[in-house]
Amino acid sequence: MATDFFHELAQSSTSSLERILRASKGPSLESLVGFEWRGYNTSWLTRLLGIQKFIKGFFQERDSVEGYNVPVLQNGLDGPWLHLPTPDDPRRYAFYRVTRVDRESGDNFYPEAILLDYGASPRNAGSPGVRIIRDYVVQPGPENPDMLLGKAYLAFGPLRIASNFFVLGRLRPTSWKP
């Protein structure tokens, strides 16, 4: 069951998650569009910062795929993902562009992954802290199209610093677009 696999990944060691990330391929961009995904950062630091749980959404914008984040109630791994401030009017922020990893770019640590590039979204122009985030995302096995594994990096000029792993599970369809 997908929920069991979500919990298994969320509680795995960083070395296990790294092996899975390196052995997996990114999902098709089209499979992401029109859905929101429940997210869980695996690091203890994200729990301390109050950002362990989140939601990512994906939409088609002209000829590209883009996405956003939604804050959720921080109620533990087993609690429901409740959009904030309300499910009917969630806050969408921290936008990103979604592409295949360009092997010639500075963001090429996982060449088989897809890249969520927060610095490439013009919607983050006034948010320099958000613009430094780069997420690599893979689908850990073709038998799990509703599960994704990611790893966040922080970009400081040409320097990339690993931040944390996160797990995504397909949550619900969405037609939202900016």
Q: Report CA-CA distances (Å) from 84 to 60, 89, 130.
A: 23, 8, 19
Q: Using CA atoms, how far apart are residues 149 and 17, in angstroms rounded to an integer?
A: 8
The residue ranges of DSSP E strands in the chain, in sequence order, are 35-41, 53-61, 64-71, 93-100, 114-117, 133-138, 147-156, 159-173
Q: Evaluate whether 20 touches 42 at the Cβ level (below 8 Å).
A: no
In degrees and rounded to multiples of 5, residue 49 shows phi and psi of: -80, -5
Task: Give the angle 2-19-48 at the CA atoms, nearest 5°.
Answer: 70
pLDDT tens string, the chain, 178 residues long: the values are 466 999 999 999 999 999 999 999 999 999 999 999 999 999 988 888 889 999 999 999 999 999 999 999 999 999 999 999 998 999 999 999 999 999 999 999 999 999 999 999 999 988 889 999 999 999 998 888 999 999 999 999 999 999 999 999 999 999 999 9
- Cis preceding linkage at 173, omega within 30: no
Residue owning tokens 């098709």: 28
Q: Using CA atoms, how far apart are residues 128 and 143, in angstroms rounded to an integer?
A: 38
Q: Where do the structural domains in the chain lie, given as residue ranges? A: 2-173
Q: Using CA atoms, how far apart are residues 6 and 74, in angstroms rounded to an integer?
A: 17
**pLDDT given for residue 20 in this prediction:** 97
**pLDDT given for residue 1 in this prediction:** 45
Question: What is the architecture, at CATH level 2, of domain 2-173?
Answer: Beta Barrel (2.40)
**pLDDT given for residue 127 in this prediction:** 87
**pLDDT given for residue 56 in this prediction:** 98
Distance, CA of 96 to chain centre: 10
**pLDDT given for residue 50 in this prediction:** 86
**pLDDT given for residue 2 in this prediction:** 63
Reference 178, options 62, 81, 73, 98; nearest CA is: 62
